Amino acid sequence: MPNILLTRIDNRLIHGQVGVTWSSHLGANLVLVANDKVAEDSIRQNLMDMVMPETVETRYFTLEKTINIIDKASARQKIFIVVETPQDLLVLIKGGVPIKKVNIGNMHYAEGKKQISSTVSVSKEDIETFKELDNLGVELDLRRVPDEKGENIIDLL
């Protein structure tokens, strides 16, 4: 069983909050970005690696590779998974990745989305996906940084 400390939805993927604040708060030694586009984009990977402490490794896998390889993780790996969307998260969970707790950190506003917090806006598809995740028993904690009080996103939809 992989040692997954937390999974975060953040459309920015790795940035200062993820690379420093969250990974140190969790005690993670591996940040795994599960994203099909970034897995093939070494420039974006290099930019994201710039904000990471030297003590934390990064991996950039497609969703499929994450599903296929996560069970091979070493027990010493303290894994913090970052995905871009709730739909990506659902793919991982349906693929067998044992994710029980999710932090919803940042989902940008766009036309057709409803803003539910200062950093999270959701579409109708996002709402349906969050409800499905909730029905699967996934804990859905909305908060930007670890020292904030979290809220169950279902209560805000």
Any idea which residues carry the catalytic annotation? 15
**Spatial distance between the Cα atoms of 110 and 6, rounded to a whole number of angstroms:** 26
**Spatial distance between the Cα atoms of 129 and 48, rounded to a whole number of angstroms:** 27
C-alpha dist (Å) from residue 35 to 15, 48, 142, 153: 15, 13, 21, 22
Cα 69-103-71 angle, rounded to 5 deg: 15
Identify whether the C-beta of residue 33 lies closer than 8 Å to the C-beta of residue 82. Answer: yes
Structure token digits, residue 114? 């409803």
Cα 91-43-93 angle, rounded to 5 deg: 10
